[in-house]
């Protein structure tokens, strides 16, 4: 059976000495990563499932690689998750252990789990366990993703989907072990963890993680050996802003970007304005790819293809894509002018279902294994996909994070100062969409402050789910059925 991470145990001297990951001063070669992850894999072998305290550190990489090696499904946790979100994920995924850095302070909700500290300098025992490659259909990762209502669902990602999606990207981008990727994405989602870490590791290349995004750090790495940049549109927007200044740093950034082999944006649409500003300042085009936690990557602009701002390219190798009408029938002529339909996809890149949610899993698929993405799109004559919107207005994409309005509304309603609440997304130049909370205070004379409500949501769910704006109303607009009319809120 072919290995998910063949480069890890390549064994040849030059491959083993190659740098695999770099987090600031902390680097691990392939040999060091293989040794540390094998040592940890031996400690967790047989565990049903493990949680990973997914800080942006080498410890997280060792923990995830160890779980993959041992064939134990890993559940990456956002270390900034609030109490309610963490409690839900832990109850739902029922891990037997949590893997964390020795210095990490874990919240009480994880106290009942067997804690295993990750030692990135550990050496595997010479007579260590030999790990057979698990079956391609076995679960590799369970990644939590928000829906319109209710708490996040765990998408079960089999090894087969990860391998297929990474190989399709390698094909599209001529991505090889010679590439050095730089990024600053969180390691508890598909973009940062699967594309941004497992991608380079599968190919025998390197990844440098910035810890936190800054245009200076991007410039530094791209002018000292890094060849590719992955980011969400917010990061490229900040790059476009920085390029627009007259500071010397803007020239350095432009030169660094111009020298990169590939600049890739994903997780949300990159506005054409930002595409154009970056192209004007650097002579380089950012290319987009389109994916989803449940499907991994579906489409992308190829490295040797025509970049076309406003599109996410054509389906990747192995991915079938169609546009369907409201009733689910495929569009007669999807490339016709004005033709728009929901994207459905099928292929080896798809997840295996939502953990403990057969209802939600069944609802996510149409007949014959087609997955309903909920994204609305048009198709150019040559098959390039143009995403024009989303079916559900209750899903917000902010900073590249998918956030369900219902989850935030429930959290707001738990605040004693809130009588009624509705949450919407509004266009935001930096975040793409900004979370707006519409609140009817329990006591109009003493409404809870904006900061108080933001802190409340951040502490229960996660900081990126906090409302950035709060608007106070006397009543929420409702229709005859009593349903909140969100579309009339902005009016």
The answer to whether 7 contacts ligand MCA (rule: CB under 6 A) is no
Segment interacting with ligand AMP, rule: CB under 6 A, options 49-57, 214-222, 235-243, 290-298? 290-298
The answer to whether 311 contacts ligand AMP (rule: CB under 6 A) is no
Q: How far is the CB of 173 from ligand AMP (least distance, A)?
A: 14
The answer to whether 236 contacts ligand AMP (rule: CB under 6 A) is no
Binding mask of the shown chain, residues 229 to 268, with x at each position contacting ligand MCA by CB under 6 A: ---x-xx------------------------------xx-
Question: In angstroms, what CA-CA distances link 124 with 31, 39, 43, 61?
Answer: 10, 4, 10, 16
Q: Which of 44, 110, 120 is nearest to 78 (CA)?
A: 110
Distance between CA 331 and CA 324 in Å, rounded? 5
Q: How far is the CB of 146 from ligand AMP (least distance, A)?
A: 7
Cβ partners under 8 Å of residue 248, min gap 6: none
Phi-psi region of 473 (alpha: psi -120 to 50; beta: other; left: phi over 0): beta
Q: Kindly state the greatest CA–CA separation across the chain.
A: 72
The answer to whether 400 contacts ligand MCA (rule: CB under 6 A) is yes
Based on CB atoms, which residue is closest to ligand AMP, 107 or 406? Answer: 406
CA 60 to chain centre: 15
Q: Which residue is nearest to ligand MCA (CB)?
A: 399
| Positions 114 through 153 that interact with ligand AMP (CB under 6 A) | 145
Based on CB atoms, which residue is closest to ligand AMP, 22 or 289? Answer: 289
Q: How far is the CB of 402 from ligand MCA (least distance, A)?
A: 6
Choosing from 92, 375, 394, 407, the residue that interacts with ligand AMP (CB under 6 A) is 375
The answer to whether 399 contacts ligand AMP (rule: CB under 6 A) is no
Residue 390 interacts with which of ligand MCA, ligand AMP, none, CB < 5 to 8 Å by class: ligand AMP
Q: How far is the CB of 481 from ligand MCA (least distance, A)?
A: 33
The answer to whether 293 contacts ligand AMP (rule: CB under 6 A) is yes
Binding mask of the shown chain, residues 175 to 194, with x at each position contacting ligand MCA by CB under 6 A: ----------xx--xxxx--
Distance between CA 412 and CA 244 in Å, rounded? 39
Residue 387 interacts with which of ligand MCA, ligand AMP, none, CB < 5 to 8 Å by class: ligand AMP
The answer to whether 410 contacts ligand AMP (rule: CB under 6 A) is no
Based on CB atoms, which residue is closest to ligand AMP, 58 or 292? Answer: 292
| Cβ atoms of residues 408 and 415 within 8 Å | no
Based on CB atoms, which residue is closest to ligand AMP, 191 or 415? Answer: 191
- Interface residues toward ligand AMP, by CB under 6 A: 145, 190, 266-269, 288, 290-293, 312, 373, 375, 387, 390, 397, 402
- Interface residues toward ligand MCA, by CB under 6 A: 80, 185-186, 189-192, 213, 232, 234-235, 266-267, 291-293, 399-402, 454-455, 458, 463-464, 466
């Amino acid at each position: 059976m072919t290995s998910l991470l063949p480069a890890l145990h390549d064994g040849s001297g030059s491959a083993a000495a190659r740098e695999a990951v770099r987090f600031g001063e902390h680097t691990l070669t392939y040999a060091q990563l293989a040794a540390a992850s094998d040592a940890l894999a031996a400690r967790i072998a047989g565990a049903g499932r493990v949680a990973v305290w997914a800080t942006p550190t080498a410890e997280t990489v060792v923990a995830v690689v160890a779980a993959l090696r041992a064939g134990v499904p890993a559940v990456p946790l956002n270390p900034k998750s609030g109490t309610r979100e963490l409690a839900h994920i832990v109850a739902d995924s029922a891990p037997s252990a949590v893997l964390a850095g020795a210095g990490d302070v874990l919240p009480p909700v994880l106290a009942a789990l067997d804690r295993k500290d990750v030692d990135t300098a550990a050496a595997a025992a010479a007579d260590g366990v030999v790990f057979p490659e698990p079956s391609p259909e076995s679960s590799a990762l369970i990644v939590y993703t928000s829906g319109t209502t209710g708490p996040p669902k765990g998408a079960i990602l089999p090894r087969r989907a990860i391998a297929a999606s990474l190989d399709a990207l390698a094909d599209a981008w001529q991505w090889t072990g010679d590439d050095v990727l730089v990024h600053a994405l969180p390691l508890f989602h598909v973009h940062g963890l699967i594309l941004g870490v497992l991608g380079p590791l599968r190919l025998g290349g390197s990844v440098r993680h910035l810890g936190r995004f800054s245009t200076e750090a991007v410039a530094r790495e791209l002018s000292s050996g890094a060849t590719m940049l992955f980011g969400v549109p917010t990061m490229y927007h900040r790059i476009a802003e920085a390029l627009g200044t007259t500071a010397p740093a803007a020239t350095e950034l432009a030169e660094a970007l111009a020298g990169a082999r590939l600049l890739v944006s994903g997780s949300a649409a990159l506005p054409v304005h930002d595409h154009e500003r970056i192209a004007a300042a650097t002579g380089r085009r950012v290319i987009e790819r389109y994916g989803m936690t449940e499907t991994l990557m579906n489409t992308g602009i190829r490295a040797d293809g025509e970049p076309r701002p406003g599109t996410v390219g054509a389906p990747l190798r192995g991915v079938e894509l169609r546009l369907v009408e409201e009733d689910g029938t495929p569009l007669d002529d999807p490339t016709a002018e004005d033709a728009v339909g929901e994207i459905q996809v099928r292929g080896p890149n798809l997840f295996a279902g939502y953990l403990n949610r057969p209802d939600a899993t069944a609802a996510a698929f149409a007949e014959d294994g087609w997955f309903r993405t909920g994204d609305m799109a048009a198709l150019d004559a040559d098959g390039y996909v143009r995403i024009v919107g989303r079916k559900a207005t209750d899903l917000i994409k902010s900073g590249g994070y998918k956030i369900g309005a219902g989850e935030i509304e429930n959290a707001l309603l738990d605040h004693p100062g809130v009588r009624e609440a509705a949450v919407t997304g509004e266009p935001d130049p930096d975040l793409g969409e900004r979370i707006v909370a519409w609140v009817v205070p329990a006591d109009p004379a003493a409404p809870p402050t904006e900061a108080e409500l933001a802190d409340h949501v951040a502490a229960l769910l996660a900081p990126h789910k906090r409302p950035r704006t709060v608007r106070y109303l006397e009543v929420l607009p409702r229709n005859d059925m009593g349903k909140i009319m969100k579309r009339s809120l902005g009016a």
